[in-house]
Amino acid sequence: MAAISVEPCTFALFGALGDLALRKLFPALYQLDRANLLHGGTRLLALAREPGSVEDHLATIEAHLRQHVPAGDIEPAALERFLGRLGYQHLDFLQPEGYQALVEQVAGGMPLIAYFATAAAVYGAICENLERVGLAERTRVVLEKPIGHDLESSRRVNDAVARFFPESRVYRIDHYLGKETVQNLIALRFANSLFETQWNQNSISHVEITVAEKVGIEGRWGYFDKAGQLRDMIQNHLLQLLCLIAMDPPSDLSADSIRDEKVKVLKALTPITGEALGTHVVRGQYIAGYSDGKPVPGYLDEDNANAQSDTETFVALRADIRNWRWSGVPFYLRTGKRMPQKLSQIVIHFKETPHYIFAPEQRLQIGNKLIIRLQPDEGISLRVMTKEQGLDKGMQLRSGPLQLNFSDAWRSARIPDAYERLLLEVMRGNQNLFVRKDEIEYAWKWCDQLIAGWRTSGDAPKPYAAGSWGPMSSIALITRDGRSWYGDI
């Protein structure tokens, strides 16, 4: 692998014994180390408040690493090197006293990367404590989502951090931006002139973005129930995907050029209020059903559930963008828990040819589609119309793929997890893949209006069976416009 220059740093992980750190962040750091992408001088420091001995906590981290990294990727020499870099310090994040010990851990004049895998409510206090012991100057802070639960609370969190850190040293995570195919979306759009001329309301009829998960709430009921699917997935991941599809070409690849273009899209989103709440958006909640042929409980019957909850586990909506490029082109977004399969994909539907000359009964299949698959089977496929082969087939048409399947095309190359790329970019000081404060705020503003509308209208979530594609009304949402969700069985 080509060497990427990364300066040495101390990487301090606040909340190191939490689920995200153990399941995603340590495995990502290990994979970077294994690929020789961490500088020899880089130190990793696990910080947590849990009582217990250093040895026990380091053993917990190692055990999770072995569990979450594929067995074939655990190489004894790489693991030894990784564990050799890793230290642990007990730290109560709110108490200034412990931070002096942190200063001693941060070697020489190296930059400190402070990754906050904790509740957003303590971000401000951690920043203040870093400042107090003189570490803030050389620190980049990485903020995990959720940053607040509405515009006002997200401002409070961002303002608390901004008292000590300029925006140029704040890295807000949306892990979807680190996914390989999302990166490829930028290459596809801006390195191929072929698409750009077609990328507007003259050629595109509509766009679908689906992020479906097979899992239910998996022991996160308390957190999830306060958020719901709109805050948990639409406000961040789906709106970021929408921005990358809809934004104008940036003048260069710098972080701010890209983010300026994304902000313009967020500002141009039509608010969903009034009557549109009934026609343009559907919220659902799963009831008992089947997953992989096995019975599974409904949302209200999950462990620790409050049986009265009206939190949504599914949202489908039609978003419209008020600008020249996208006027009249709906973006249909849909995301839910306990769907039939894990699937994240974007489908761009191109318009029909202006004059149709083939047999009328074949007309329904007409229309090119560009399918961008984020997971599983990352790849891009362009569906084009061709003729069936054979003397007996006449001019019978079929829709077939021109396909680029990333895992087949570069079989030897492992597709890195989103967090690997994001952690590497923080170490390189590159903010391209991180979300700026104003992006978060415009996204909240749009979502807040929608949530306020639900609240005033008393809109209850529609039930859908676990293992289905959501409430019937989510199908009506798109069929009403004479379309259907791509690929639903």
Residue 312 in the binding site for ligand BG6 (CB under 6 A): no
Does 213 participate in binding ligand BG6 (rule CB under 6 A)?
Answer: yes
**Residue 229 C-beta: closest distance to ligand BG6, Å:** 8
Distances, alpha carbon 472 to alpha carbons 304, 319, 468, in Å: 28, 19, 10
Q: Compute CA 395 distance to the chain's CA centroid, rounded to the nearest angstrom.
A: 43
Q: Which of residues 164-203 bind ligand BG6 (CB under 6 A)?
A: 175
Return left, alpha or beta for 457; rule: phi > 0 is left, psi -120 to 50 is alpha, else beta: alpha
Which is nearer to ligand BG6, 222 or 400 (by Cβ)?
222
Binding mask 129-168 for ligand BG6 (x = CB under 6 A): ----------------------------------------
Question: Which residues in 331-370 contact ligand BG6 (CB under 6 A)?
Answer: 344
Does residue 152 sit in helix, strand or coil?
A: helix
Q: How far is the CB of 313 from ligand BG6 (least distance, A)?
A: 10
Closest to ligand BG6 by CB, 4 or 215: 215
Residues 235, 443: Cα–Cα separation, whole Å: 6
**CA–CA dist 375, 180 (Å, integer):** 10
- 251-280 residues in contact with ligand BG6 (CB under 6 A) are none
Residue 124: CB minimum distance to ligand BG6, A: 22
Least Å distance, CB 379 to ligand BG6, is 16
Nearest Cα to Cα of residue 242 among 220, 216, 223, 270: 270
With respect to ligand BG6, which residue has the nearer C-beta, 180 or 448? 180
Residues labelled as active-site residues: 237
Point out which residues pair with 302 in neighbouring strands.
Answer: none
Which of 409, 404, 434, 377 is CA-nearest to residue 192? 404
Which residue's CB is nearer to ligand BG6, number 213 or number 448?
213
Among 33, 180, 225, 232, binds ligand BG6 (CB under 6 A): 232
- Rounded to the nearest whole angstrom, what is the least distance from the CB of residue 435 to ligand BG6 in the complex? 13
Which of 57/145 has CB closer to ligand BG6? 145
Look up residue 470 and give its two tokens: 């959501």
- Calculated CA dihedral for residues 15, 18, 23, 26, nearest 10 degrees: 30
CB 188, CB 329: distance < 8 Å = no
Number of Cβ within a 10 Å radius of residue 255: 17
> Which residues bind to ligand BG6, rule: CB under 6 A?
175, 213, 232, 344
